[in-house]
Chain A
Amino acid sequence: MIDIPIGDWVEQAVQWLSANASGFFNGITAGIDFLVEGLQSILMYPNDYLTIVLLALIAYLMSSKGYKFFTRSAWKKGWGITVFTILGLLLLKLMGYWEETVSTIALILVSALIALVIGIPLGVWASRNDALDQIIRPVLDFMQTLPPFVYLIPAIIFFSVGNVPGVVATIIFSLPPAVRLTNLGIRNVQQDVVEASKAFGATKRQLLFKVQIPLAKSTIMQGVNQVIMLALSMVVIASMVGAGGLGQAVYKGILKADMALGFEAGLGIVILAIFLDRVTQTLGVSRKQIRDED
């Protein structure tokens, strides 16, 4: 019987890479570590309660976007998530999970940021190149359907254990919606408008930045929201390779069959999920669409 050793080939490739490109991987490790730790220490720098208030303020401003700030209708729209943020984060602080919470926020934001920096330009490129689009589609499907545990193995080999392999696995898992929705958004821009811009002599760059991206913005921002939510969904899995934060607490809970620990940390993840989702949901709303005070 023929035995096709795909597994062996992949392993050899991974080993060859880890042996020959270690400088490259070390560079990435240093970069990611710097970002995660930097963001973490920024969030930990002020008084914890002040940070909570600031995060609640961000939640308020983002959720009431589209209205003039600090008006009655803005408050009507945004009070729920604002109060929720204060109470939720306060609960986490008082349960003694503040450091884990901050660390999880940092991990998610860094992963999502890198995923977006890679994903959005890739989506733009795919939107103007049908061949690339055809190639990239199955790759994205593959990235999303391959169980994320599988990325962890090469991640450990390349980046050893800690936050970095977790971030890398998270980036791979959360990247696809950024590419897909950017591509979709740009392709769905009304053909009339694109044609008009060309007819007035717009260059490709002008077309992209003055027309396509602004008009695709709400779709692209949906992608941003999804990337962040997918990154959040990876926190527990990433903790298996040593990433810190609430995910690690959950993982410890699982290992020790510690219901109390697992539940508290899990609750923390839910609170963060709601906070991040609501804050990023309105990213696509344009500032110009400010409605009149009623």
Chain B
Amino acid sequence: MSKIQVEDLSVIFGRRTKEAQELQKAGRSKVEILNQTGCTVGVSKASMDIQEGEVFVVMGLSGSGKSTLLRCFNRLIEPTDGTVKVDGNDILQINEHALREFRRTKMTMVFQHFGLLPHRTVSSNVAFGLEIQGVDEDTRLKKAYEVIKTVGLEGYEEKMTGQLSGGMQQRVGLARALATDPEILLMDEAFSALDPLIRTQMQEELLQLQEKVHKTILFITHDLDEALKLGDRIAIMKDGLIVQTGTPEEILTNPADDYVRAFVENVDRGGIVTAGSVMFKNPNAVRIKQDGPRAALRKMSKGGVTSMPVVGENGTFIGFVKDTDMKEMEDKGLRDIEQYMYTKEQVTAVKADTPVADLLPLFLDTDLNLAVVDDDRKLVGVVVHSSVIAEMIGKERSEVKQIRDEGGIDL
């Protein structure tokens, strides 16, 4: 179910926003608008649909408008145009009182530099949201202690926030955001100010926490690895525009333009790209009862391959056959390919969502391809060695040729 729907959201900073809007409608670029009107386009006609319970990551470099976009969701920044619907209600239309209620109960935020109150203790910071709502002290501190436990800060409740490390301070920030039981969490570069090690740890903990709390999380980051790790879906922003929205895998395997391609080039793809996207779909297969060695050989030479999967009735995957074996059978006049088929012990089948990094080891000690099957063990694809290698190194064919030209030895 769609939790937040954003349509044509634009934020323009400056005085002559009307003019800038006209220019924007006419399709002028950010630079042109700046030169003509002196207005800066923060976000340009952003649209997105965020599902309930998903982690939606907006990724972009600094100045891409991602933080501005995020601040439109709770109207810390007032958008110039567009709609932001939460559960179907356009929050850009509600009055100040309703907005305050909305911020208090539905949507909270975690900040890059934590934004904690340095003159208060951890528990008092965590209880801040409830305090604002007028919840009495006993109740709110009880709740604060609970949430502090959830984020793993037990024992630090009465410390001043200044005495904590960055990672701990951000846990306080997270606890504060969770204490009011909001449905939506906005996280603005929440882990960007932390050390790499702590950051990784916090990312993992956030994912574990999300398993438990199932909030709708909107996460902003400039770090693609972080986006790929956390995001169920990712939107990539550039100059105020959303250039691509998709799952991590869609973005890696099918970048929308050169900008995204340049971004994803150096990413460790092995953990994200799955068998499903490197396999050959609906491969030709040998049918076990119907096809003999001759038919198998014909299919293989037609497809230009040296081995082929074998399927039973209903297309269930059974094993592989090789062309050399088929030839031998033909020479010997044997008919039943089952005798020469590689089955369970020698072959492996994987599901389509297995990451490519996990496929590599499966190629050890075998020259057979991998079969990809669905939940009913039906054959859906075949993964060959070269596809996996190509995916892992993440290089284009032209680049490989260049490497060969420069580093290879002429024979």
Which positions in A face B, CB cutoff 8 Å? 190, 192-193, 195-203, 206, 210-211, 214-215, 217, 286, 288
Complex-state Cα separation, A202 to B128, whole angstroms: 9
Q: Which of B119-165 contact A (CB under 8 A)?
A: 119, 128-129, 131-133, 160
Which chain A residue lies CB-closest to B106?
A201
Contacts of A196 in B (CB 8 A): 109, 111, 115-116
Chain B nearest Cβ from A260, distance in angstroms: 51
Are A193 and B101 in contact (CB-based, < 8 A)? Answer: no
Are B108 and A192 in contact (CB-based, < 8 A)? Answer: no
Complex-state Cα separation, A155 to B186, whole angstroms: 58
Complex-state Cα separation, A217 to B119, whole angstroms: 10
Are B132 and A201 in contact (CB-based, < 8 A)? Answer: yes
Are A288 and B129 in contact (CB-based, < 8 A)? Answer: no
Complex-state Cα separation, A200 to B117, whole angstroms: 13
Is B113 located at the chain interface by the 8 A CB criterion?
Answer: yes
Report 21 cross-chain contacts, Cβ distance below 8 Å, ordered by A residue. Answer: A190-B113, A192-B112, A193-B116, A195-B115, A196-B109, A196-B116, A197-B132, A198-B76, A199-B103, A200-B108, A200-B129, A200-B180, A201-B101, A201-B102, A201-B103, A202-B132, A203-B132, A210-B128, A211-B117, A214-B117, A214-B119
Are B111 and A195 in contact (CB-based, < 8 A)? Answer: yes
Contact with B160, one of A193, A215, A217, A288 (Cβ below 8 angstroms):
A288
Contacts of B118 in A (CB 8 A): 193, 215
Contact with B111, one of A192, A201, A211 (Cβ below 8 angstroms):
A192
Contacts of B160 in A (CB 8 A): 288
Contacts of A201 in B (CB 8 A): 100-105, 129, 132-133
Is B114 located at the chain interface by the 8 A CB criterion?
Answer: yes
Are B119 and A215 in contact (CB-based, < 8 A)? Answer: yes
Contacts of A211 in B (CB 8 A): 117
Chain B nearest Cβ from A215, distance in angstroms: 6
Is B74 located at the chain interface by the 8 A CB criterion?
Answer: yes
Contacts of B103 in A (CB 8 A): 198-201
Complex-state Cα separation, A196 to B114, whole angstroms: 9
Contacts of A215 in B (CB 8 A): 117-119
Contacts of A198 in B (CB 8 A): 76, 103
Contact with B114, one of A192, A199, A202 (Cβ below 8 angstroms):
A192
Contacts of B105 in A (CB 8 A): 201
Contact with B115, one of A193, A206, A210, A288 (Cβ below 8 angstroms):
A193
Looking at A201, A206, A214, which has the most chain B CB atoms within 10 Å of its CB?
A201
Contacts of A190 in B (CB 8 A): 113, 115
Contacts of B76 in A (CB 8 A): 195, 198-199
Chain A nearest Cβ from B203, distance in angstroms: 21
Complex-state Cα separation, A192 to B176, whole angstroms: 14
Contacts of A197 in B (CB 8 A): 128, 132
Q: Which of B78-113 contact A (CB under 8 A)?
A: 100-105, 108-109, 111-113
Complex-state Cα separation, A215 to B117, whole angstroms: 8
Complex-state Cα separation, A201 to B118, whole angstroms: 19
Complex-state Cα separation, A211 to B124, whole angstroms: 12
Known contacts A190-B115, A193-B115, A201-B102, then 19 further A-B pairs from the complex at CB < 8 Å, ordered by chain A residue: A190-B113, A192-B112, A192-B113, A193-B116, A193-B117, A196-B111, A196-B116, A197-B128, A197-B132, A199-B74, A199-B76, A200-B108, A200-B176, A202-B132, A210-B117, A215-B117, A215-B118, A217-B119, A288-B160
Are A192 and B115 in contact (CB-based, < 8 A)? Answer: yes
Complex-state Cα separation, A214 to B116, whole angstroms: 13
Complex-state Cα separation, A192 to B71, whole angstroms: 13
Chain A nearest Cβ from B219, distance in angstroms: 15
Are A200 and B104 in contact (CB-based, < 8 A)? Answer: yes
Complex-state Cα separation, A287 to B35, whole angstroms: 53
Minimum-distance CB pairs A-B, first 7: A196-B115, A201-B104, A201-B103, A192-B115, A199-B109, A200-B129, A201-B100
Contacts of A286 in B (CB 8 A): 119
Contacts of B180 in A (CB 8 A): 200
Contacts of A206 in B (CB 8 A): 132
Which chain B residue lies CB-closest to A217?
B119
Chain B nearest Cβ from A209, distance in angstroms: 11
Chain A nearest Cβ from B75, distance in angstroms: 9
Complex-state Cα separation, A197 to B128, whole angstroms: 8
Contacts of B109 in A (CB 8 A): 196, 199-200
Contacts of B131 in A (CB 8 A): 210
Which chain B residue lies CB-closest to A286?
B119
Contacts of B113 in A (CB 8 A): 190, 192
Chain A nearest Cβ from B73, distance in angstroms: 10
Are A200 and B119 in contact (CB-based, < 8 A)? Answer: no
Complex-state Cα separation, A54 to B116, whole angstroms: 40
Chain A nearest Cβ from B293, distance in angstroms: 71
Complex-state Cα separation, A195 to B188, whole angstroms: 12
Chain A nearest Cβ from B163, distance in angstroms: 11
Chain B nearest Cβ from A144, distance in angstroms: 31
Complex-state Cα separation, A198 to B132, whole angstroms: 10
Contacts of A202 in B (CB 8 A): 132
Contacts of A199 in B (CB 8 A): 74, 76, 103, 108-109, 186
Which chain A residue lies CB-closest to B182?
A200
Contacts of A192 in B (CB 8 A): 111-115
Contacts of B116 in A (CB 8 A): 193, 196
Contacts of B117 in A (CB 8 A): 193, 210-211, 214-215
Which chain B residue lies CB-closest to A214?
B119
Contacts of B186 in A (CB 8 A): 199
Complex-state Cα separation, A210 to B131, whole angstroms: 10
Which chain B residue lies CB-closest to A207?
B132
Contacts of B115 in A (CB 8 A): 190, 192-193, 195-196
Complex interface bits, B378-407 against A, C-beta within 8 A gives 1, otherwise 0: 000000000000000000000000000000
Chain B nearest Cβ from A111, distance in angstroms: 30
Complex-state Cα separation, A88 to B158, whole angstroms: 43
Complex-state Cα separation, A199 to B71, whole angstroms: 9
